Structure 1
Amino acid sequence: MEPKFSAVLFDCDGVLVDSESITNSVLRQMLIEMGWDISVEECIRIFIGKALKDQWEPILEHTGVRIDDAWISSFRARRDAALRTDLQAIEGAVQAVEAIHEVYGEKIACVTGADRAKVEMQLELAGLTRFFGDRVFSGMECAKSKPAPDVYLAAASSLGIDPSHALVIEDTATGASAGIGAGATVFGFSNIGPTSTDPQKLRDAGVSRVFGAMSELPALAVQ
């Protein structure tokens, strides 16, 4: 088997680990405590796939509170406690990454819009750290996070590849836009879970194809 691309760049939340519903539940509870009676569906629609610090305006509008670094730190502490208790890998993700790692070696990376500490914790909990090593890239360490392409460009540069020859795996339109903006080929993962992006929305964002099970991915990434 040979690689089809120069590298495979994986988003983390919703692609490798089933974290979105856990994180969103913690956020929703904190917003309710602040007086915003937000539904599960609305919380998913507004916040999933986006950096929380960039979504301060709807929070201010509904609660009168301008979230700051201290508030975000409090959220992260509650979020991380919940993740340590409940996090699981996406079904088939460990096996898919292992198979791709066998072909691509160190030309794989985890490229996320989330904070590094969270992602590294999640990879460890899911048993994925051994495949990615230090090849973890956080959009929060770039000038702009997703949907800007900065973090994917940074990952490609670090791996020594042309981003237009990379395969990006994303589960949100925001993330897909970042990969496409970097010039990469983007495949959209949509497993029809409660926090999963509708396949058509991924297609509308410009992904090359949509797949619904991580077990499908190795065959799509090798030749």
Structure 2
Amino acid sequence: MKRPDLIIFDCDGVLVDTEPVSNAVLAENLTRHGLPLSKEDCIGMFTGWSMVNVEQEAIRLGATLPENWIAAVYAEEFEALKRGVDAVKGIPEILDRLESLDIPFCVASNGSEEKMAITLGQTGLFPRFQGAMFSAHTLNTSKPDPALFQAALEAFKVDPARAVVIEDSVLGATGAARANIPCYGYAPHEGGADLAATGAKVFKEMRELAELLGF
């Protein structure tokens, strides 16, 4: 494809490898509250979800959650994440290349800005996204609503067809499709058929991105 004018990255699972840690905490928490789930269950069910939507679905499935549940589970998750997460392999090199070519990039996440500060901060990525972070919590929306991506387009003054979204979740890829933004689906551990079904172009390794995106 022709080189894009803006690259919109998801955060968890795309920039930083947080999903195993976050979902282990979520599984233990929900199990305590009457909904026995494993880490693998949570990864399969909730990858890419906002915590507001996780709360609603968990209650629907039989969990008994306290009024302050979101704040409490986030506190548990943040403590676990502070013990260490890694950048996704290949991401620092991709960002180096984008910066050398003056191609703008940003992050759009269903997670909170506080969470991104923790995860991007300890991997050294946070300074590269300052002023270019779009959080569902701040904007009061969440994927698959396209509003999160549309906010990024508006901020950077870029048409949807000239941007690209990098996602690892069906919710995110669906939101990109609804915003009419081409999407590349990162599926390092599986076939990615669910991402492909949304119209995303599936890839397995971050090093493939440079060729896919024409830089």
Q: Give the TM-score normalised by the residue count of structure 2.
A: 0.92
SS of 2:106's equivalent in the other structure is strand
- 1:80 shift after superposition: 0.7
Q: Decide whether the 8 Å contact of 1:111 with 1:152 is kept in 2.
A: yes
Equivalent residue for 1:119, pick from 116, 119, 136: 116
Match of 2:128 in 1: 131
Match of 1:37 in 2: 36
Equivalent residue for 1:176, pick from 166, 173, 178: 173
Match of 2:81 in 1: 83
Match of 2:192 in 1: 199
**1:37-116 residue pairs with structure 2 within 5 A?**
37-68=36-67, 70-105=68-103, 107-116=104-113
Match of 1:215 in 2: 207
The verdict on how the C-alpha distance between 1:21 and 1:169 changes in structure 2, with shifts beyond 3 A counting, is same
Q: Decide whether the 8 Å contact of 1:100 with 1:218 is kept in 2.
A: no
**1:132-147 residue pairs with structure 2 within 5 A?**
132-147=129-144
Identity of aligned residues (%): 28
C-alpha distance after superposition, 1:128-177 (max 9, x if no partner): 12322210001222342100100100011001111221011000111001
SS of 1:110's equivalent in the other structure is strand
- Root-mean-square deviation (CA, aligned residues, Å) is 1.9
- 1:221 shift after superposition: 2.2
Between the aligned partners of 2:194 and 2:66, the Cα distance in structure 1 is 29
- 1:66 shift after superposition: 4.3
C-alpha distance after superposition, 1:104-133 (max 9, x if no partner): 34x210111111111122111111123222
Equivalent residue for 2:161, pick from 159, 164, 170: 164
Unmatched tracts of structure 2, length 5 or more: none
- 1:51 shift after superposition: 1.1
Unmatched tracts of structure 1, length 5 or more: none
Report the AA paired with residue 53 of structure 1: V
Stretch moving more, 45-54 or 178-187 = 45-54
Equivalent residue for 1:150, pick from 141, 147, 150: 147
Report the AA paired with residue 91 of structure 2: A
SS of 1:144's equivalent in the other structure is coil
Report the AA paired with residue 4 of structure 2: F
Between the aligned partners of 2:195 and 2:62, the Cα distance in structure 1 is 31
Stretch moving more, 170-179 or 89-98 = 89-98
- 1:50 shift after superposition: 0.9
- 1:7 shift after superposition: 0.6
Report the AA paired with residue 173 of structure 2: A
Report the AA paired with residue 213 of structure 2: A
Counting matched residue pairs gives: 215
The verdict on how the C-alpha distance between 1:90 and 1:62 changes in structure 2, with shifts beyond 3 A counting, is same
